[in-house]
Chains A and B, each alone.
Chain A
Protein backbone atom coordinates (compact mmCIF):
# COMPACT_ATOMS: atom_id res chain seq x y z
CA UNK A 1 0.00 0.00 0.00
CA UNK A 2 0.83 3.73 0.07
CA UNK A 3 1.85 4.09 -3.56
CA UNK A 4 2.33 7.50 -5.12
CA UNK A 5 2.71 7.97 -8.85
CA UNK A 6 3.85 10.91 -10.94
CA UNK A 7 3.24 11.71 -14.56
CA UNK A 8 5.15 12.30 -16.70
CA UNK A 9 8.39 10.71 -15.54
CA UNK A 10 10.33 13.08 -17.75
CA UNK A 11 9.53 16.03 -19.98
CA UNK A 12 11.50 18.26 -22.31
CA UNK A 13 9.99 21.60 -23.27
CA UNK A 14 10.91 24.86 -24.92
CA UNK A 15 11.56 27.99 -22.92
CA UNK A 16 8.38 29.98 -22.35
CA UNK A 17 5.98 27.04 -22.38
CA UNK A 18 4.05 25.66 -19.42
CA UNK A 19 4.36 22.15 -18.10
CA UNK A 20 1.93 20.26 -15.86
CA UNK A 21 3.07 17.48 -13.55
CA UNK A 22 0.57 15.16 -11.87
CA UNK A 23 0.94 13.47 -8.52
CA UNK A 24 -1.50 10.72 -7.56
CA UNK A 25 -1.96 8.63 -4.46
CA UNK A 26 -3.07 5.30 -5.90
CA UNK A 27 -4.34 3.38 -2.92
CA UNK A 28 -5.02 5.90 -0.19
CA UNK A 29 -6.54 9.32 0.29
CA UNK A 30 -3.99 12.06 0.76
CA UNK A 31 -5.24 15.08 2.63
CA UNK A 32 -1.83 16.65 2.31
CA UNK A 33 0.62 16.57 -0.56
CA UNK A 34 4.05 18.11 -0.79
CA UNK A 35 6.11 19.26 -3.77
CA UNK A 36 9.90 19.14 -3.66
CA UNK A 37 12.60 20.17 -6.11
CA UNK A 38 16.05 18.61 -6.36
CA UNK A 39 18.90 20.14 -8.31
CA UNK A 40 21.87 17.92 -9.23
CA UNK A 41 23.95 16.96 -6.22
CA UNK A 42 21.78 19.14 -4.00
CA UNK A 43 19.27 18.42 -1.26
CA UNK A 44 15.59 18.05 -1.87
CA UNK A 45 13.97 21.37 -1.08
CA UNK A 46 10.32 21.73 -0.17
CA UNK A 47 8.52 24.07 -2.57
CA UNK A 48 4.97 23.98 -1.27
CA UNK A 49 2.44 22.11 0.81
CA UNK A 50 -1.04 21.55 -0.54
CA UNK A 51 -4.22 20.49 1.19
CA UNK A 52 -7.20 19.17 -0.68
CA UNK A 53 -9.66 21.91 -1.45
CA UNK A 54 -7.57 24.83 -0.26
CA UNK A 55 -4.76 27.02 -1.48
CA UNK A 56 -1.21 25.76 -1.32
CA UNK A 57 1.30 27.12 1.16
CA UNK A 58 4.54 28.10 -0.54
CA UNK A 59 7.99 28.14 1.00
CA UNK A 60 9.95 31.34 1.10
CA UNK A 61 11.51 32.16 -2.23
CA UNK A 62 9.13 30.02 -4.29
CA UNK A 63 7.02 32.07 -6.70
CA UNK A 64 3.41 31.01 -6.36
CA UNK A 65 2.45 32.56 -9.71
CA UNK A 66 5.14 30.58 -11.47
CA UNK A 67 4.54 27.25 -9.77
CA UNK A 68 0.79 26.74 -9.73
CA UNK A 69 -0.44 23.97 -7.46
CA UNK A 70 -3.91 22.49 -7.53
CA UNK A 71 -5.09 19.82 -5.11
CA UNK A 72 -8.60 19.26 -6.38
CA UNK A 73 -9.20 15.81 -4.95
CA UNK A 74 -7.89 13.54 -2.21
CA UNK A 75 -5.89 11.54 -4.74
CA UNK A 76 -4.54 14.15 -7.15
CA UNK A 77 -2.34 17.21 -6.96
CA UNK A 78 -0.88 19.00 -9.95
CA UNK A 79 2.11 21.31 -10.28
CA UNK A 80 2.20 23.59 -13.30
CA UNK A 81 5.46 25.31 -14.14
CA UNK A 82 4.38 28.38 -16.07
CA UNK A 83 6.59 30.11 -18.63
CA UNK A 84 9.37 27.66 -17.94
CA UNK A 85 13.00 28.73 -18.29
CA UNK A 86 16.22 26.70 -18.37
CA UNK A 87 16.86 27.48 -14.69
CA UNK A 88 13.62 25.63 -13.87
CA UNK A 89 15.20 22.41 -15.13
CA UNK A 90 15.23 20.10 -12.16
CA UNK A 91 13.89 16.90 -10.64
CA UNK A 92 10.46 17.48 -9.14
CA UNK A 93 9.20 15.02 -6.53
CA UNK A 94 5.87 14.93 -4.79
CA UNK A 95 4.93 13.18 -1.59
CA UNK A 96 1.64 12.42 0.06
CA UNK A 97 0.51 11.70 3.57
CA UNK A 98 -2.41 9.55 4.62
CA UNK A 99 -4.25 12.04 6.72
CA UNK A 100 -3.94 14.80 9.22
CA UNK A 101 -1.46 12.81 11.27
CA UNK A 102 1.23 14.64 9.35
CA UNK A 103 0.21 17.70 11.26
CA UNK A 104 0.88 15.81 14.45
CA UNK A 105 4.32 15.02 13.02
CA UNK A 106 3.83 11.31 13.44
CA UNK A 107 2.94 10.25 9.95
CA UNK A 108 5.38 9.47 7.20
CA UNK A 109 5.35 10.89 3.72
CA UNK A 110 5.21 8.57 0.72
CA UNK A 111 7.18 9.81 -2.23
CA UNK A 112 6.48 9.60 -5.92
CA UNK A 113 9.14 8.51 -8.43
CA UNK A 114 9.82 12.07 -9.54
CA UNK A 115 9.61 13.99 -12.81
CA UNK A 116 12.73 15.14 -14.65
CA UNK A 117 12.04 18.51 -16.30
CA UNK A 118 14.44 19.84 -18.93
CA UNK A 119 13.78 23.28 -20.37
CA UNK A 120 15.64 24.07 -23.56
Chain B
Protein backbone atom coordinates (compact mmCIF):
# COMPACT_ATOMS: atom_id res chain seq x y z
CA UNK B 1 0.00 0.00 0.00
CA UNK B 2 1.43 3.34 -1.06
CA UNK B 3 2.27 5.73 1.76
CA UNK B 4 3.39 9.29 1.31
CA UNK B 5 5.33 11.07 4.04
CA UNK B 6 6.25 14.73 4.21
CA UNK B 7 8.97 16.17 6.38
CA UNK B 8 8.95 18.50 8.19
CA UNK B 9 5.33 18.79 9.29
CA UNK B 10 5.84 22.50 9.89
CA UNK B 11 8.50 25.02 9.00
CA UNK B 12 9.01 28.67 9.91
CA UNK B 13 11.60 30.75 8.09
CA UNK B 14 12.46 34.44 7.70
CA UNK B 15 11.62 36.14 4.45
CA UNK B 16 14.22 35.75 1.72
CA UNK B 17 15.47 32.34 2.75
CA UNK B 18 15.75 29.44 0.33
CA UNK B 19 14.08 26.29 1.61
CA UNK B 20 13.48 22.65 0.79
CA UNK B 21 10.41 20.57 1.49
CA UNK B 22 10.70 16.79 1.41
CA UNK B 23 8.35 14.08 0.26
CA UNK B 24 8.93 10.35 0.30
CA UNK B 25 6.81 7.49 -0.99
CA UNK B 26 7.04 3.77 -0.34
CA UNK B 27 6.10 2.34 -3.74
CA UNK B 28 8.18 3.58 -6.66
CA UNK B 29 5.65 2.36 -9.26
CA UNK B 30 4.06 5.73 -9.84
CA UNK B 31 2.77 7.54 -12.90
CA UNK B 32 3.48 11.00 -11.60
CA UNK B 33 3.99 13.17 -8.56
CA UNK B 34 2.41 16.53 -7.88
CA UNK B 35 3.05 19.34 -5.47
CA UNK B 36 0.06 21.38 -4.33
CA UNK B 37 -0.45 24.44 -2.23
CA UNK B 38 -3.39 24.68 0.18
CA UNK B 39 -4.34 27.89 1.93
CA UNK B 40 -6.32 27.66 5.21
CA UNK B 41 -9.85 26.42 4.60
CA UNK B 42 -9.30 26.46 0.87
CA UNK B 43 -8.94 23.99 -1.94
CA UNK B 44 -5.74 22.95 -3.64
CA UNK B 45 -3.68 24.73 -6.24
CA UNK B 46 -1.43 22.55 -8.37
CA UNK B 47 2.12 23.91 -8.39
CA UNK B 48 4.14 21.35 -10.30
CA UNK B 49 3.49 17.94 -11.86
CA UNK B 50 6.40 15.61 -12.59
CA UNK B 51 5.83 12.59 -14.80
CA UNK B 52 7.61 9.40 -13.76
CA UNK B 53 10.00 9.74 -16.69
CA UNK B 54 11.06 13.24 -15.65
CA UNK B 55 13.65 14.30 -13.07
CA UNK B 56 12.47 17.81 -12.30
CA UNK B 57 10.10 20.61 -13.11
CA UNK B 58 10.50 24.34 -12.59
CA UNK B 59 8.02 27.17 -12.31
CA UNK B 60 9.25 30.59 -11.29
CA UNK B 61 10.85 30.35 -7.85
CA UNK B 62 9.77 26.73 -7.46
CA UNK B 63 11.75 23.69 -8.47
CA UNK B 64 10.62 20.13 -7.84
CA UNK B 65 12.80 17.08 -8.28
CA UNK B 66 11.88 13.43 -8.47
CA UNK B 67 14.03 10.40 -7.71
CA UNK B 68 11.64 7.57 -8.37
CA UNK B 69 14.05 4.77 -7.53
CA UNK B 70 14.66 6.09 -4.03
CA UNK B 71 11.06 7.20 -3.57
CA UNK B 72 11.82 10.85 -2.95
CA UNK B 73 10.85 14.27 -4.17
CA UNK B 74 11.89 17.70 -3.01
CA UNK B 75 10.28 21.08 -3.53
CA UNK B 76 12.77 23.93 -3.52
CA UNK B 77 11.46 27.44 -2.93
CA UNK B 78 13.89 30.23 -3.67
CA UNK B 79 13.83 33.63 -1.98
CA UNK B 80 10.77 32.86 0.12
CA UNK B 81 8.09 35.52 0.62
CA UNK B 82 5.32 35.93 3.22
CA UNK B 83 2.83 35.13 0.47
CA UNK B 84 4.36 31.66 0.24
CA UNK B 85 2.91 30.84 3.66
CA UNK B 86 0.57 27.89 3.17
CA UNK B 87 0.45 24.12 3.52
CA UNK B 88 2.30 22.28 0.77
CA UNK B 89 1.02 18.87 -0.19
CA UNK B 90 2.77 16.14 -2.13
CA UNK B 91 0.69 13.54 -3.97
CA UNK B 92 1.52 10.53 -6.13
CA UNK B 93 -0.55 8.74 -8.70
CA UNK B 94 -0.07 4.99 -8.52
CA UNK B 95 -0.09 2.22 -11.02
CA UNK B 96 -3.09 0.03 -10.34
CA UNK B 97 -5.83 0.93 -7.91
CA UNK B 98 -8.43 3.51 -8.84
CA UNK B 99 -7.75 5.37 -12.03
CA UNK B 100 -6.74 8.92 -11.23
CA UNK B 101 -6.32 8.16 -7.54
CA UNK B 102 -3.96 10.66 -5.95
CA UNK B 103 -2.38 9.58 -2.68
CA UNK B 104 -1.52 12.54 -0.53
CA UNK B 105 0.93 13.23 2.26
CA UNK B 106 -0.19 15.15 5.33
CA UNK B 107 1.58 18.26 4.16
CA UNK B 108 4.19 20.72 5.37
CA UNK B 109 2.84 23.89 6.91
CA UNK B 110 5.14 26.74 5.88
CA UNK B 111 5.24 30.10 7.58
CA UNK B 112 7.42 32.84 6.10
CA UNK B 113 7.97 35.71 8.52
CA UNK B 114 8.41 39.25 7.16
A residues lining the B interface (CB < 8 Å): 4, 6, 32, 34, 41-46, 49, 57, 59, 91, 93, 95, 97, 102-103, 105-106, 108-114, 116
Q: Are A105 and B98 in contact (CB under 8 A)?
A: no
Q: Which of B50-99 contact A (CB under 8 A)?
A: 51, 89, 91, 93, 98-99
Contact residues of B: prevailing secondary structure: strand
- B4: contacting residue among A43, A49, A59, CB under 8 A: A43
How far is it, in angstroms, between the C-alpha of A6 and the C-alpha of B44 when the chains are bound?
13
CB distance from A117 to the nearest CB of B (A): 13
Q: Are A113 and B32 in contact (CB under 8 A)?
A: no
CB distance from A118 to the nearest CB of B (A): 12
Residues of B within 8 A of A43 (CB): 4, 89, 103-107
Q: Are B41 and A114 in contact (CB under 8 A)?
A: yes
B26 contacts partner chain A, Cβ-Cβ < 8 Å:
no
CB distance from A23 to the nearest CB of B (A): 10
| 6 further contact pairs, Cβ within 8 A, besides A108-B49, A111-B43 | A6-B43, A34-B102, A41-B106, A49-B101, A102-B99, A111-B46
Q: Are A108 and B34 in contact (CB under 8 A)?
A: yes
CB distance from A88 to the nearest CB of B (A): 18
Nearest chain-B residue to A116 (Cβ)?
B41
Q: Are A114 and B43 in contact (CB under 8 A)?
A: yes
Residues of A within 8 A of B93 (CB): 105
